[in-house]
Chain A
Amino acid sequence: MKHVSTKTVIAAGLLVALVLAGFVSFYASGDPDGLNRVAADKGFSGTEAAHRAEDSPLAGYETQGVGNGRLSGGLAGVVGSVVVLTVAGGIVYAVRRRTPAQKS
Chain B
Amino acid sequence: MHVPDGFLDAPTSLATGAVAVTGVALALRGARRELDDRTAPMAGLVATFIFATQMLNFPVGGGTSGHLLGGALAAVLVGPATAVLCMSVVLLVQCLLFADGGITALGTNVVLMGMVGVGVGWLVFRLAQSVLPKKLSMVAPAAALGALVSVPVAALVFVLLYAEGGAVDIPLDTLLGAMVGVHTLIGIGEAVITFLAVGSIVAVRPDLVYGARRVLEQRPLEVKEALA
Residues of A within 8 A of B (CB): 3-4, 6, 9-10, 13-14, 16-18, 20-21, 24-25, 28-35, 37-39, 41-44, 47-54, 56, 58-61, 76-77, 79-81, 83-85, 87-89, 91-93, 95-101, 103-104
Alpha-carbon distance between A81 and B98 when the two chains are bound, in angstroms: 12
10 cross-chain CB contacts under 8 A = A33-B57, A34-B182, A48-B6, A51-B5, A51-B103, A53-B95, A61-B55, A80-B51, A80-B55, A104-B228
Since A42-B178, A85-B47, A92-B85 are in contact, a sample of 19 more A-B pairs with Cβ atoms closer than 8 Å, ordered by chain A residue number, is: A4-B205, A34-B1, A34-B66, A34-B183, A37-B64, A44-B170, A47-B167, A49-B4, A53-B99, A53-B103, A56-B96, A58-B98, A59-B98, A77-B55, A81-B48, A89-B44, A92-B40, A95-B31, A104-B228
Contact stretch, chosen from B86-94, B114-122, B123-131, B135-143: B86-94
Question: Interface residue tally of chain B, by bracket?
Answer: 35 or more
Task: Tell whether B36 is near chain A: CB-to-CB under 8 Å.
Answer: yes
With a cutoff of 8 Å between Cβ atoms, the chain A residues found around residue B5 in the complex are 48-52
Across the interface, B49 reaches (CB within 8 A) one of A6, A16, A95, A99, namely A16
Question: B170, A85: Cβ atoms under 8 Å?
Answer: no
With a cutoff of 8 Å between Cβ atoms, the chain B residues found around residue A101 in the complex are 36
Interface of B (DSSP majority class): helix
Task: Tell whether B26 is near chain A: CB-to-CB under 8 Å.
Answer: no
Question: B56, A32: Cβ atoms under 8 Å?
Answer: no
Closest partner residue, chain B, to A55 (CB atom): B99
Interface of A (DSSP majority class): helix
Question: B55, A20: Cβ atoms under 8 Å?
Answer: yes
Given contacts A42-B170, A56-B96, A96-B37, contact A31 B4 (CB under 8 A): no
Interface of chain B residues 9 through 55 with chain A (CB within 8 A): 28, 31-32, 35-45, 47-49, 51-53, 55
Question: B35, A95: Cβ atoms under 8 Å?
Answer: yes
Question: A39, B93: Cβ atoms under 8 Å?
Answer: no
Residues of B within 8 A of A (CB): 1-7, 28, 31-32, 35-45, 47-49, 51-53, 55-60, 62-67, 82, 85-86, 89-90, 92-100, 102-103, 155, 158, 166-168, 170, 174-175, 178-179, 182-183, 185-186, 201, 204-205, 207-208, 224, 227-228
Closest partner residue, chain A, to B66 (CB atom): A34
Across the interface, A20 reaches (CB within 8 A) one of B39, B53, B85, B99, namely B53
Alpha-carbon distance between A97 and B65 when the two chains are bound, in angstroms: 40
Across the interface, B224 reaches (CB within 8 A) one of A38, A58, A95, A104, namely A104
Alpha-carbon distance between A101 and B175 when the two chains are bound, in angstroms: 47
Across the interface, B45 reaches (CB within 8 A) one of A14, A32, A56, namely A14
With a cutoff of 8 Å between Cβ atoms, the chain B residues found around residue A104 in the complex are 38, 207, 224, 227-228
Give B193 Cβ to nearest chain A Cβ, in Å. Answer: 10
Alpha-carbon distance between A76 and B4 when the two chains are bound, in angstroms: 20
